[in-house]
A = this chain, B = another copy of it.
Amino acid sequence: MTLPEVRLAILAEASFGPLEAKTAVGMLRYRPARVAAVIDSTQAGRTAAQCAGVGGDIPVVASVDEAAALGAGALLIGIAPAGGRLPDSWRPVLRRSLERGWDVISGLHAFLSDDPELSALARAHQAQLHDLRRPPRDLRVALGRASRVDALIVLTVGTDCNSGKMTAALEVQRELVARGLRAAFVATGQTGIVIEGRGTAIDAVPADFVAGAAEALVLEAARDADVVIVEGQGSLFHPGFSGVTLGLLHGACPEALILCHHWGRERLRISSPDVPVPPPVPPLGVVREAYERAASWVRPAPVVAAAVNTRACGEPEARAACSATESELGVPTTDPVRFGAATLADAVAGRRTARGPALPAR
């Protein structure tokens, strides 16, 4: 997958916030230099930081043309509607982008390149439609091969969807690299793919091949790395996505898990009129036990650390949240965005050292 080199306008119409706009927030946190503007007409005039807590002074604008004036040359869809279809209200923005000759990058389940109107428009203006969730052609069934690589494989897992699994994985990988270790990040969702420039959106792969897609990503990453940090997906407790979570767990064959939790979230993040009161998020000990149990069905893997998203708290409460989690689970815990990922990296590096030869220096 080759994404355009130009700076991006990120579409987050009517939804630009820290939780609703995962892809926008991920790009703003990890690739801010690639972002020219965010499009959300309901918040035009504010900065990215004011709306979502990341992205500093990157401006929020109301239209494609305003983003172009700020140097944008392609559009990234930065929000993920449940079900993954293209809302009709976005079409004018996509049309305008393509008319300008911009590439459009999308993580929707509904592929833009299968849309007759948009693909005709792209052809007419020599623009490309990049569907991040399009599965690779070469799909295989997983066979547990990832359990045989020399690299230490670590998977982030969560109490819920949207609990900080991608962020924790990126933060710990960057910290390990900063320490001179050969650590790779494996992107398994559309945001991670845009940030990393490669990966597979495993939630869009035909179900028989979910684990196989994860296995292929891990085998490839392990060729040049001693530690492979895999971005987790979903949650074992989510009625819609647990199959993706387990397929990833059994395909990636991690040897260690990092448990991610959004502090203060009491109920699963299911927004549907059909579920007026979503199920509660289980206690952390129950969640940990579930992941360790499920891992053991193919390859045992303990939870070696925890990452707590304390975005909604003040600092004293954030420190208390980490301490409480650490006491409850008995593993090193931090908020890697707020306090840095050293604690998590220590736990992973220690695990790597404990299991065999020391990590080679660069």
Contact of A297 among B139, B242, B248 (CB under 8 A): B242
The answer to whether B141 touches A275 (Cβ under 8 A) is no
CB <8 Å contact, A243 and B246: yes
Given the complex, which residues of B lie within 8 Å of A142, measured CB to CB?
239-240
CA–CA, A279 and B296, complex, Å: 12
Residues B82 and A141 in contact, CB atoms below 8 Å apart: yes
Q: Mark A135-176, 1 if CB is under 8 A from B, else 0.
A: 100011111110000000000000000000000000000000
Q: Which chain A residues in 294-327 approach chain B with CB under 8 Å?
A: 294, 297-298
| Inter-chain contacts of A180 with B (CB < 8 A) | none
What is the total number of copies of this protein in its complex? 2
1/0 per position for A71-103, CB-CB distance to B under 8 A?
A: 000000000001110000000000000000000
Helix, strand, loop or mixed for chain A's interface?
Answer: loop
Interface check A22, CB cutoff 8 A: no
Write out the residue numbers on chain B whose beta carbons fall within 8 Å of the beta carbon of A241. Answer: 141, 208, 211
Contact: A243 with B240, CB < 8 Å? no
Task: Name the residue of chain B whose CB is nearest to the CB of A290.
Answer: B297
5 residue pairs bridging A and B, Cβ less than 8 Å apart = A83-B140, A203-B206, A211-B239, A236-B297, A243-B247
Question: Which chain B residue lies CB-closest to A135?
Answer: B206
In the docked arrangement, what's the CA distance between A7 and B98, Å? Answer: 52
Determine the chain B residues whose CB is within 8 A of the CB of A247 once the complex forms: 207, 242-244, 246
The interface size of chain A toward B, counting residues with CB under 8 Å, comes to 49
Given A204-B207, A205-B207, A206-B203, the answer on whether A298 and B246 have CB atoms closer than 8 Å is no
Nearest-neighbor residue (CB-CB) of A253 within chain B: B239
> Could you tell me which residues of chain A, from 239 to 286, have a CB within 8 Å of some CB in chain B?
239-248, 250-251, 253, 270, 272, 274-275, 279, 282
Alpha-carbon separation in the docked complex, A212 to B139 (Å): 22
Question: When the two chains form their complex, are residues A243 and B250 in contact, meaning their CB atoms are under 8 A apart?
Answer: yes
CB interface residues, A 328-347, toward B, < 8 Å? none
* A293 in the interface (beta carbon within 8 A): yes
Is A182 located at the chain interface by the 8 A CB criterion? no
Contact flag A237-B298 (CB < 8 Å), given A203-B206, A207-B206: yes
CB A288 to nearest CB in B, in angstroms, measures: 13
Are A240's CB and B143's CB within 8 A?
yes
List the B side residues contacting A239 at CB < 8 Å.
142-144, 211, 250-251, 253, 298
The 8 Å CB contact of A144, one of B202, B210, B275, is B275
- For A237, the chain B residues whose CB sits under 8 A away are 297-298
Which residues from chain B contact A250 at a C-beta distance below 8 Å?
238-240, 242-243
